[in-house]
Structure 1
Amino acid sequence: MTHVSVRRGLLYVSIAATAWGTGGAAGALLHQTGGLGPVAVSFWRFAAGAAVLLLARLLFGLGGPRPAGPLTTVRRARLARRGSVLGRVLVTGVAMAVYQTAYFAAIAESGLAVATVVTIGATPVLVAAGGRLLLGERLGATGLGAVTIALTGLAVLTLGDGWAAFSAAGVGWALLSAAGYAGVTLLNRASTDEPYATATGGFVVGGLCLLPVASAQGLLPSGDPLVSWAVVAYLGTVPTALAYGLFFTGLAAVRATTAAVISLVEPVGAAILGILLLGERLTPATACGSVLLLGAVALLALKERGQAPVPV
């Protein structure tokens, strides 16, 4: 796997979070124009993402060069790692399917605002705890302050209408979604596996997990097929194949908690798209929450770069 610098890792995770911010709008458009249920949308997202990465690997050799060395040595190394790589891919795919489905269930129970603030807000907390216990990552005073600022900004940004739709079941689904996302982040932190191969395998496994429910909801989109499949293509390419590939690559250089906090800019991107494309108003809560979130991300990015080893 090619070495990734901290600066490049921060850039990759930031691009991934920005791309994820467009996924919600694309999924909503596919639901409106194609009449697909939320799980069916997630299935096509995973299926299209896997197809895009497989095509990129065939056409452009995406995934890096083959390991150098004698053929027997390469084969021994591949056989030795095959079990661990397969296990990582299986767990990643199942976790991705779980947190996608649980998030949609949380929205159905509590509404978009509460589901978003609990799911995305709980993720960096779970990642920080898991990173400390499992990876030995120390958050420090600066990191703790950045997480607190980020969670405050997220609450201000997404809870403009308050907790009117609060329900215990909705919060439970949201926490399950956060746990799945945190598990994917921790599992792939500093992994030596090829990140695009991990993403491809995760999409295949996740898609297979979602296929039965998606089929029950109605698998094929209705309406204008050109529009529906164009949205599927975009959903699979930008907020899925590109975003997850870059996110897994960035995790090789950036601490898990930092990556989780940077991912909080996803609702900022969604809010900006809503203002620019959907005619939504820029409210004081949106502006204040966005500033707090982006400030927390900048603080953690500076801390991460300051702790990066100096090249020799």
Structure 2
Amino acid sequence: MFSFHSALPARRGLLYVALAATAWGTAGAAAALLFRHSGLGPLALTFWRSLGGAAVLLAVHPFTGGRRRSPRPAPARILLNGLGLTLFQAAYFLAVRYTGLAVATVVTLGSAPVLVAVGGRLLMTERLGRAGVSAVVGAVAGLAVLVLGGGRDAGAEPLGLAWALTSAAGYAAITLATRHRARTGTPDDPAATTLWSFTVCAICLFPFALAEGLLPAGGGALPATLALLGYLATVPTALAYALYFAGAAVIRAATASVIALIEPLSAMVIAAAVLDEPLTPAALLGTAVLLLSVAALARNELRAT
């Protein structure tokens, strides 16, 4: 069973972030399927994901023991994380709707490390070092190969790309805030932080989801829609974000962001296996470059601790 103790060793922090990123990669595929069959729009889908994730975390929170180990998250911390999650998730699903799953995922996660590295340098004086800079450049290069060589010219819509960059900004804000809190004070309980953050996210999105269309379409697709919404609320939401907040508190912000690039890799594999999207030579090359970059940055992190 996973431990959400605030004093995690770096190795376990790296593992938690990697597991979270792998789970996140399945969220885009689930959203793509829901867009096809449920009748839900991006904002309604994000609302149900957040509400369901909060409900799952509320149900399991008494069994995590988090309140005995870490202080209750401060209201400002809850609000910042909640707004960051709202921006990250809603903008990502909007990007998937307008520019497709592959492009939205790789642009969001490709630009996030750059934003995090700049923010970490400006706000927390974090130094990547030569190895870290090389790993970030390699990761972005791998993502560029995936985007430019993927053979999806019609998918790179400017509006979708803008939403992907907006999502990356929300992701970067969450990552930097988590790391800053861990460096300047006692880290919050990750499970409680995630629970309250998703509650804020659901509250913020409710009026927009209501205007967009809150309820899924009925008929024969309803059971599959409910099953996909249940999965979306548990694995890539409640579990993945709790793991991510726990891991991000004990490794550098830029490291967490680059390791999270595993998400587009897992999304690509699922797209090929479930959505019948072919794996092109460019996709395989980009995958190899990304994996090498993630491994190099993880090794650099372990050496620094």
Q: TM-score when scaled to structure 1?
A: 0.87
Kept after mapping to 2: 8 A contact 1:16/1:244: yes
CA offset digits 1:150-179 (Å, max 9, x no partner): 011112123313655556544433322211
Once the two structures are TM-superposed, the CA of residue 34 in structure 1 deviates from its matched residue by 1.8
Q: SS of 1:188's equivalent?
A: helix
Name the structure 2 match of 1:94.
83
- Whether 1:52 aligns to 2:56 is yes
Residues 257-296 of structure 1 correspond to what in structure 2 (within 5 A)?
A: 257-296=254-293
Structure 1 distance, partners of 2:271, 2:65, is 33
CA offset digits 1:194-245 (Å, max 9, x no partner): 1111111110101111111111121122234332222111101100011100
Which of the numbers 14, 18, 23 marks the counterpart of 2:22? 18
Instruction: Report sequence identity in percent.
Output: 51
Residues 1-312 of structure 1 correspond to what in structure 2 (within 5 A)?
A: 1-58=5-62, 60-65=63-68, 85-107=74-96, 110-159=99-148, 160-161=150-151, 166=156, 169-189=159-179, 191=182, 192-222=187-217, 223=219, 224-308=221-305
Cα 1:180–1:10 shift into 2, 3 Å: same
Structure 2 distance, partners of 1:282, 1:165, is 16
Cα 1:62–1:33 shift into 2, 3 Å: farther
Kept after mapping to 2: 8 A contact 1:34/1:228: yes
Cα 1:279–1:109 shift into 2, 3 Å: closer
Once the two structures are TM-superposed, the CA of residue 21 in structure 1 deviates from its matched residue by 0.4
CA offset digits 1:112-132 (Å, max 9, x no partner): 554434322211011001111
Cα 1:30–1:104 shift into 2, 3 Å: closer
- Return the letter of the residue paired with 1:182: A
- Return the letter of the residue paired with 2:215: L
Structure 2 distance, partners of 1:122, 1:185, is 13
Cα 1:18–1:112 shift into 2, 3 Å: closer
Structure label with greater radius of gyration? 1
- Return the letter of the residue paired with 1:217: E
Name the structure 2 match of 1:74.
none
Structure 2 distance, partners of 1:104, 1:93, is 17
- Return the letter of the residue paired with 2:229: V
Structure 2 distance, partners of 1:2, 1:91, is 20
Q: SS of 2:66's equivalent?
A: coil
Once the two structures are TM-superposed, the CA of residue 180 in structure 1 deviates from its matched residue by 1.1
Kept after mapping to 2: 8 A contact 1:56/1:62: no
Kept after mapping to 1: 8 A contact 2:28/2:101: no
Q: Which consecutive residues of structure 1, in runs of 5 or more, have no partner in the other structure?
A: 68-77
Structure 2 distance, partners of 1:131, 1:231, is 36
- Return the letter of the residue paired with 2:135: A
- Return the letter of the residue paired with 1:9: G
- After TM superposition, where is structure 1 displaced by more than 6 Å over at least 4 residues in a row? none
Structure 2 distance, partners of 1:101, 1:302, is 33
- Return the letter of the residue paired with 1:296: S
The CA RMSD measured in Å over matched residues stands at: 2.1
Cα 1:137–1:66 shift into 2, 3 Å: closer
Structure 1 distance, partners of 2:281, 2:303, is 33
Structure 1 distance, partners of 2:144, 2:100, is 14
Structure 2 distance, partners of 1:105, 1:23, is 13
Name the structure 2 match of 1:70.
none
Kept after mapping to 2: 8 A contact 1:45/1:232: yes
Once the two structures are TM-superposed, the CA of residue 46 in structure 1 deviates from its matched residue by 0.5
Structure 1 distance, partners of 2:225, 2:98, is 27
Kept after mapping to 2: 8 A contact 1:95/1:183: yes
Q: Which consecutive residues of structure 2, in runs of 5 or more, have no partner in the other structure?
A: none
Kept after mapping to 1: 8 A contact 2:92/2:163: yes
Once the two structures are TM-superposed, the CA of residue 108 in structure 1 deviates from its matched residue by 5.0
User: What number of residue pairs does the alignment pair up?
Assistant: 293
Cα 1:103–1:154 shift into 2, 3 Å: same
Q: TM-score when scaled to structure 2?
A: 0.89
Structure 2 distance, partners of 1:23, 1:114, is 14
